[in-house]
Amino acid sequence: MTGNNVRLRAIQDVEAYVPPAVSFDPGEEPGKIFGENVFSLSAMQKRLPKAVYKSVLNTIEKSAPLDSDVADAVASAMKDWALEKGATHYAHVFYPLTGLTAEKHDSFLDPVGDGTAFASFSGKTLIQGEPDASSFPNGGLRNTFEARGYTGWDVMSPAYVLENPNGNTLCIPTIFISMTGEALDHKTPVLRSQQAMAVHAERVLKLFGHENSEHVVSYLGPEQEYFLIDRHFFLSRPDLINAGRTLFGAKPPKGQEFDDHYFGAIPERVLAFMMDTERELFKLGIPAKTRHNEVAPGQFEIAPMFERANVGSDHQQLLMTTFKSVAKKHGMECLFHEKPFEGVNGSGKHVNFSLGNSELGSLLVPGDNPHDNAQFLVFCGAVIRSVDLYGGLLRASVASASNDHRLGANEAPPAIISIFLGDQLADVFDQIAKGGATHSKEKGTLTIGVDTLPNLTKDPGDRNRTSPFAFTGNRFEFRAPGSGQTVAGPMVMLNTIMAEALDYCATELEKSVEDGTDFNEAVQTLLTEIISNHGKVIFNGNGYSDEWPIEAEQRGLKNLRTTVDALPELITPEAIELFSKYSVFNDREMHSRYEIGLEQYVLSISVEANLTHEIGTTTILPAAVRYQTELATNVSALKSAGVEADTSTLEAVTGPLTALRAGLAELAEAIGHDHDPDGLTAATYCRDAVLPAMASVRAAADELEALVADDLWSLPTYQEMLYIL
Q: What is the 3-state secondary structure (H, E, C) of 574-624?
A: HHHHHHHHCCCCCHHHHHHHHHHHHHHHHHHHHHHHHHHHHHHHHHHHHHH
Q: DSSP letter at 252?
A: P
A 10 A CB-CB count for 237 gives: 25
Burial class (CB in 10 A: 0-12, 13-18, 19+), 660: buried
Taking the C-alpha atoms of residue 439 and residue 436, their distance in angstroms, rounded to an integer, is 9
φ/ψ (deg, to 5) at 294: -95, -170
The pTM is what? 0.93
Tell me which residue of 583, 468, 470, 495 sits closest to 219, measured CA to CA: 495
CB 394, CB 502: distance < 8 Å:
no
How far apart CA 268 and CA 109 sit, in angstroms, is 44
| Phi, psi values for residue 338, rounded to 5° | -65, -25
| Residue 416 · residue 548 · CB < 8 Å | yes
> Could you tell me if 229 and 719 are in contact, meaning their C-beta atoms sit under 8 angstroms apart?
no
- Closest alpha carbon to 179 in 154, 152, 207: 152
Cα separation, 643 vs 638, whole angstroms? 5
Q: Strand locations in 189-262, DSSP E?
A: 217-230
Among 313, 295, 292, 318, smallest CA distance to 303 is for 292
What secondary structure letter does DSSP report for 675? P
Q: Where are the alpha helices (DSSP H) in 340-405?
A: 374-389, 391-397
Amino acid identity, position 692: P
**What is the spatial distance between Cα 207 and Cα 407, in angstroms, rounded to a whole number?**
40
Instruction: Give Cα separations from 560 to 123, 470, 579, 649 (angstroms).
Output: 48, 19, 21, 44
**Residues with pLDDT less than 70, the chain:** 1-4, 22-24, 30, 144-146, 370-372, 409-410, 436-463
- Residues in a beta bridge with 477: 352, 470
Which of 721, 660, 718 has the alpha carbon at shortest distance from 693?
A: 660
At residue 559, φ and ψ (nearest 5 deg) are -120, 85
3-state helix, strand, coil in the chain (%, to 5): 50, 15, 35
Q: Residue 611 in contact with residue 246, Cβ under 8 Å?
A: no
Name which of 579, 418, 571, 576 is nearest 496 in CA terms: 579
pLDDT of residue 683: 97
Position 454 scores a pLDDT of 61
DSSP 261: S
Give dist(CA 74, CA 205) in Å, integer. 34
Q: Which phi-psi region, left, alpha or beta, contains residue 298 (left: φ > 0; alpha: ψ -120 to 50)?
A: left
Which pLDDT does position 455 carry in this prediction?
59
CA nearest to 713, candidates 231, 6, 13: 6
- In which element (H, E) is residue 63 found? none
CA distance linking residue 72 with residue 92, whole number of Å: 16
HSE at residue 689, side-chain half, CA atoms within 13 A, is: 18
Phi–psi pair at 676, nearest 5 degrees: -65, 140
Contacts 24+ apart (CB under 8 A), 204-213: 204/375, 204/378, 204/379, 204/382, 204/502, 204/505, 204/506, 204/509, 205/360, 205/363, 205/375, 207/506, 207/509, 207/510, 207/513, 207/519, 208/374, 208/375, 208/378, 210/360, 213/357, 213/359, 213/360
Query: From the centroid of its chain, how far is CA 291?
Result: 17
In angstroms, the Cα distances linking 631 to 5, 236, 542, 572 are 20, 27, 50, 60
- CB-based contact 612:247 (threshold 8 Å): yes
Task: Identify which of 56, 19, 176, 171 has the alpha carbon closest to the alpha carbon of residue 105.
Answer: 171
Tell which phi-psi region holds residue 343, choosing left (phi > 0), alpha (psi between -120 and 50) or beta: left
Ordered by where they begin, the domains of the chain are 34-185 (3.10.20.70), 193-600 (3.30.590.10)
Which residue in 484, 495, 481, 166 sits closest to 308, CA to CA?
495
Q: From the CA atom positions of the chain, what is the Rg in Å?
A: 28
Distance CA 515, CA 505 (A): 15
Q: What is the pLDDT of residue 260?
A: 80
According to DSSP, residue 482 is labeled: B
What is the SS3 assignment for 400? coil
**What's the confidence (pLDDT) of residue 202?**
96
- In the prediction, which pLDDT does 1 show? 40
Query: Bridge partners of 132?
Result: 148
**Residue length of the chain:** 725
What integer pLDDT is reported at residue 227 of this predicted model?
Answer: 97
